[in-house]
């Protein structure tokens, strides 16, 4: 696909032809390579064929919904970043979307500059932009190892499969292990900006991350009530 450091490949999934054409034209004009799909089945096929850097995904599709498409991608081990696009404005829908494995959420009507800004932010934080030349050594805490260069995580030597945003959240916690992080700090670090100040996004992703890396006998992610979260060993292990 050429020089991917200078040109990202994006997939626009939208059943409305007018919106699909608008997005495709605007994203192409901004320097991206753009493909499109009109339904969920086409979206899954195109992701497998193109291996895009990001998917702009409408939630309401004629054959399924964007949440189901994202869950299907994650189930087959594909963690391509997803930006949801929808007319739904309820915060619960936003949380459902992000819990399904999405990376951000834009509501209609939208301004094209907002779409471009959010795409740029997602690509930056998920590592889809060129890496800096300086080598980043793996982060280690307890039996947890996070390799930022290879975008891998292991606990007790076993690989942990994470979405790009889950990985970014884990890096945030491990790099500041044993420090209590306020939810707003985590929002700023992981998402680069707040979701209208709603920290339930952080709670949702912490819940997902706990399910993947914590063990009943040795949890690492701890809630500091009224403040935020902290990565630390259980008290008995720390003694």
Judged by DSSP in three states, 125 sits in: helix
158 plus 94 within the same structural domain: no
86 within some domain: yes
pLDDT of residue 187: 82
Same domain, yes or no: 159 and 97: no
CA distances to 172, 177, 231 from 157, in Å: 20, 19, 18
Residue where one domain finishes, among candidates 93, 125, 157: 125
User: The domain containing residue 215 runs over which residues?
Assistant: 139-238
Pair of tokens at residue 117: 């800004």
Same domain, 40 and 117: yes
Q: How many domains does the chain fold into? A: 2
**One domain, residues 198 and 96:** no
The burial class, CB within 10 Å (0-12 / 13-18 / 19+), for 159 is exposed
Residue 130 lies in a domain: no
Is the domain of 219 the same as that of 173?
yes
Residue 227 maps to which CATH number?
Answer: 1.10.10.10
Does residue 209 sit within a domain? yes
* Radius of gyration in angstroms for the set of CA atoms belonging to the chain, rounded to a whole number: 18
Are residues 98 and 105 in contact, defined by beta-carbon separation less than 8 angstroms? yes
What is the pTM (predicted TM-score) of this model? 0.57
Same domain (yes/no): 147, 208: yes
Q: Are residues 152 and 88 in the same domain?
A: no
Same domain (yes/no): 32, 115: yes
| Alpha carbon distance 105, 137 (integer Å) | 32
pLDDT digits (tens, 9 = 90+) for 130-175: 334 446 789 999 999 999 888 899 999 999 999 888 998 999 999 9
d(CA 232, CA 239): 12
144 has which bridge partners? Answer: 141, 155
For residues 133 and 179, the model is more confident at: 179
Asked if residue 160 and residue 110 are part of one domain, the reply reads no
User: Has residue 186 got a pLDDT over 90?
Assistant: no
Which of 66, 95, 125 terminates a domain? The answer is: 125
Same domain, yes or no: 107 and 156:
no
CATH number at residue 99: 3.40.50.2300
Q: Kindly report the number of other CB atoms within 10 A of residue 206's CB atom.
A: 19
Position 159 scores a pLDDT of 95
């Amino acid at each position: 696909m050429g020089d991917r450091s200078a040109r990202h490949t994006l997939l626009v999934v939208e059943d409305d032809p007018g919106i699909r054409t608008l997005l495709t034209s605007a994203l192409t004009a901004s320097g991206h390579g753009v493909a499109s799909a009109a339904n969920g089945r086409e979206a899954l096929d195109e992701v497998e064929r193109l291996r895009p850097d990001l998917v702009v995904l409408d939630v309401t599709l004629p054959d399924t919904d964007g949440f189901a498409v994202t869950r299907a991608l994650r189930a087959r081990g594909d963690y391509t970043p997803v930006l949801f696009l929808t007319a739904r404005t309820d915060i619960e829908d936003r949380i459902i979307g992000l819990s399904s494995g999405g990376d951000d959420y834009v509501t209609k009507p939208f301004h094209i500059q907002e779409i471009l800004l959010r795409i740029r932010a997602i690509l930056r934080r998920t590592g889809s932009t060129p890496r800096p030349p300086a080598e980043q050594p793996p982060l280690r805490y307890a039996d947890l190892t996070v390799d930022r260069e290879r975008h891998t995580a292991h606990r007790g030597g076993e690989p942990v499969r994470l979405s790009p945003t889950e990985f970014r959240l884990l890096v945030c916690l491990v790099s500041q292990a044993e420090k209590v992080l306020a939810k707003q700090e985590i929002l700023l670090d992981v998402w680069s900006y707040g979701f209208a100040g709603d920290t339930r996004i952080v709670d949702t992703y912490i819940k997902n991350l706990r399910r993947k890396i914590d063990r009943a006998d040795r949890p690492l992610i701890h809630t500091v009530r009224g403040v935020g979260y902290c990565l630390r060993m259980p008290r008995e292990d720390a003694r």
